[in-house]
Amino acid sequence: MMNNPFSLLGKTILVTGASSGIGRAMAIMCSQMDAKLIITGRNKARLAETFSLLEGDENLQICADLTHTNELNSLIEQLPKLDGVVNNAGIAKPLILQLTEEEDIDEIMNINALVPIHLTRLILQQKKLNKGASLVFISSINGNNCAYMGSSIYAASKSALTGFMKTVALELAPRGIRANCINPGMIETNLLKSGNIGEDDLEKDRLKYPLKRYGKPEEVAAAAVFLLSDATQWITGSSLLIDGGYTIQ
Amino acid sequence: METNDFIKNFAAQFDDTDASEITLETRFRELDEWSSLNALAVLNMIGKKYGIILKLEEMKPTNTVQELFDLVQSKL
């Protein structure tokens, strides 16, 4: 197809949390849409596995724990000019508030909200963004569109991203750079196994979705490709809901 | 894992039920206060204090504090 509006040809894109799950699916799909990828994650072996699944031969992998300032700075230094950034890395730690300690709050807020904030800030300060670039933040329906018991800090961190994104969208609009969030519902990744909900209860929960299933990582990846592409040059400050109809009920 | 400690930690997850009311024989699901929030609180507590991530469905067959204690003990 001539002039495919969803193509990422000629674009260089950074994806965080690319060792697994949604991040891996995003990196792979972006590479299939002809982008050059810079992928980062904490797990060296799993990051290398993602790297081996990418198309094209100009991609880069940088293993880093972005909660460590020196590693974050080192990543920024190695970055070329970017046309897209997907802040995807995130954790969930199901805990009701009474049982949440300071270190739990620090951990979740750091990875889910502060890292995207610092990364974005540093990329701007080091002038690593091309004109017309696209910033995508993986937020969640949790904290923005609905809430669940046991995820107060996760919800806080995800709605922090939404507020941050809107301001960044305004500040960067003069340069034609846009910022948007993706709000996924429950997605079939390893994150599902991290809490107290077992397979039987997950199965019951899937049926609560109008489309009777959780989302697939590739479906969130496709949304990211859409927002990263030139097709969305007039979309900024928005939150793209990908939840199988869950929040309309 | 000590039973008195476990009872204390379990009882701490209730706001309206006195700790003295809770023993190993207590059928916790029949307590007035019992709700899904308590279930979650108990699961979280077991994770934090004993390092065992118990799934809600694993806890479902237990009805007394003793049965829950035995379940957690079996996972240690």
Give the pLDDT confidence of B29-44 residue by residue, as tens digits. 999 999 989 999 999 9
- Catalytic positions of A are 154
Between vectors from CA A223 to CA A220 and to CA A226, what angle results, nearest 5°? 155
Q: Is the ipTM of this complex over 0.90?
A: no
Contacts of A198 in chain B (CB under 8 A): 55-58
DSSP B1-54: --HHHHHHHHHTT-SSS-GGG--TT-BGGGSTT--HHHHHHHHHHHHHHH----
Query: Does A94 contact B36 at a Cβ distance shorter than 8 Å?
Result: no
Residue A37 has pLDDT above 80, yes or no: yes
- If you average pLDDT over every residue of chain A, what do you get? 97
- CB contact under 8 Å between B58 and A201, yes or no, is no
Domain boundaries, chain A: 12-248
**pLDDT score of A122 more than 80:** yes
Closest Cα in chain B, distance from residue A194 (Å): 8
Phi, psi of B18 (to 5 degrees): -65, 140
> In the 8-state DSSP scheme, what is residue A249?
-
CB–CB of A107/A37 below 8 Å? no
Owner of token pair 């894109």: A13
Question: Which pTM value belongs to this model?
Answer: 0.95
Domain parsing of chain B, residue ranges:
3-75
- Contact status, residue A29 vs residue A11, Cβ threshold 8 Å: no
Closest residue of chain A to B41, computed from CA coordinates: A96
State the Rg of chain A over Cα.
Answer: 17
Q: Is the CB of B56 inside 8 Å of chain A's CB atoms?
A: yes
Query: For residue B59, what pLDDT is reported?
Result: 95
Nearest to A235 by CA among A158, A182, A160: A182
A200 to chain B: closest CA residue? B57
Check residue A74 and give its pLDDT. Answer: 98
Overall average pLDDT of the A120-130 stretch: 98
Residues 6+ apart with CB under 8 A from A217: A21, A22, A24, A25, A26, A187, A188, A189
Q: Does residue A165 have a pLDDT over 90? A: yes
Nearest chain B Cα to A151, which residue?
Answer: B40
Check CB contact under 8 Å for A149 and B44: no
Q: Reply yes or no on domain A12-248 having CATH 3.40.50.2000.
A: no
* Residue B1 contacts A, CB cutoff 8 Å: no
B25 CB neighbour count, 10 Å cutoff: 8
Which CATH code is given to the segment(s) B3-75? Answer: 1.10.1200.10
Find all residues with CB under 8 Å of A189, minimum gap 6, and list them. A20, A21, A22, A217
Please tell me whether residue A169 adopts helix, strand or coil conformation: helix
Separation in Å, CA of B25 to nearest CA in chain A: 24
pLDDT at A1: 61
The whole-number pLDDT of residue B28 equals 96
Chain A hits for B54, CB-CB cut-off 8 Å, are 196
**In chain A, what residues touch B36 (CB-CB under 8 Å)?**
149
